[in-house]
Amino acid sequence: MNIEQYVTYTVIITVLLVSPGPSVLLSINNGLNHGKKLAALGVLGNVAAFQLLLIISATGLGAVILTFSELLTFIKVIGAGYLCYLGIKVYRSPVSQFDTDGSQSSLHHQPWLIFKQAFWVTSMNPKALIFVSALLPQFINPTVSLMPQVVMLCIISALIHFTIYFGYAALAEKVKQLVGGEKGRGRFNKVSGVTFVIFGIVLGLSGSTT
């Protein structure tokens, strides 16, 4: 790719990742409730899942998956169900306690769980697979080696992805006092939980993904 194509790809990925969605909401919720250090694990989960989708698309496996409407429907149903499950879990979750320096004093939230939740929220969204499967071929030159191109595109997207989502999480940690302390964060958890359920319902009721 030439420099103009790299710039175009960067702009498209940036606009995609800045846009509100379940993954952005989860990053904000993690930053607000667990602090930016633990929230960074969730961001890594999002990034890992998105990189997996990019690799699937680059290898042509994404195009194969898109030809099976039953498989896409299955992924959509599982993804919708997981968002609803996550919404109920967030709605009912207790508010994490923080020390005066902003670090988490309650250890009942497992770091691996935060990573796993973020990974599944991103990877189980069939529309993300459709998007990257349509986007990636526009920036792949079939006349040259595929691997260096895919590596470069993955690096660009990973850096942008982590920067944006970690920025959301860090900002949420900074403004947690503005939501009214523990009671305010408890209300935010309930609003977030309901929003996740709405995301799940909308995904489940969306038309055919093919």
Q: Each residue of 42-92: pLDDT tens digit?
A: 999 999 999 999 988 887 776 677 677 777 788 888 888 988 988 898 888
CA separation, residue 99 to residues 96, 168, 176, 180 (Å): 10, 21, 13, 16
- Per-residue pLDDT, 207: 64
pLDDT, tens digit, for every residue of 94-150?
Answer: 665 544 344 444 434 578 889 999 999 998 888 888 888 888 888 888 788 888 888
- Per-residue pLDDT, 134: 83
pLDDT, tens digit, for every residue of 22-33?
Answer: 999 999 988 888
